Amino acid sequence: MPTNLKIAQLGDAVLREIAKPIDDFSCAEFKLLLSNLQNKMQEANGVGIAAPQLGISQQIVIIASRPTPRYPNAPLIEPIVMINPSFTIVDDTTHKDWEGCLSVPGIRALVPRFKAIEVSYQTPLGEVRKIGLADFPARVFQHEFDHLLGMVYLDRVENNRDIIAESEFFKRIAA
């Protein structure tokens, strides 16, 4: 696996594929992919990333909410690597909030997401875990999970007027 992977951009076919589950947790390529995902997410000031964004159609997401230049008001949680994740809805209330994506640079959109979810996943060692997520971390997970379904956040936008330039987004959060 190359170590100079680039973030796939909107229009790249891999972003529209349904990701395959991971069944080998011990191979060197798997471990290298996890490292590459972490590094790319941090380099790009992301709060989450999914393997398809590095051109690898496998069921891996990382959520790592923290304040960044892209999300200055994000809460701080330790990075969580989730393999073969699924989720159930804890609170079916949806809330619209702003999202952006490393694979869709330059724009933001208001996207409805469930407020609270429970995520089941495997750790990088293959152990099964569950975690409850609410608010921003739940939003980040649902955004990344969509990448595993071959979707991007723009597919969830209810109205095209909810899409703005990223420069306008930063003006709004600064006001």
Annotation marks residue 144 as catalytic: yes
Give the number of C-alpha atoms closer than 13 A to the C-alpha of residue 75, restricted to the C-beta side.
9
The 3 state secondary structure assigned to the chain is: CCCCCCCCCCCCHHHHCCCECCCCCCCHHHHHHHHHHHHHHHHCCCCEEEHHHHCCCECEEEECCCCCCCCCCCCCCCCEEEEEEEEEEEEEEEEEEEEEECCEEEEEEEEEEEEEEEEEEECCCCCEEEEEEEHHHHHHHHHHHHHHCCCCHHHHCCCHHHEEEHHHHHHHHHC
Out of 29, 43, 99, 144, the active site residue is 144
| 137 vs 154: CA distance, rounded Å | 19
According to the annotation, is 95 in a ligand binding site?
no
Name the residues annotated as catalytic: 144
Binding residues for Fe cation: 101, 143, 147
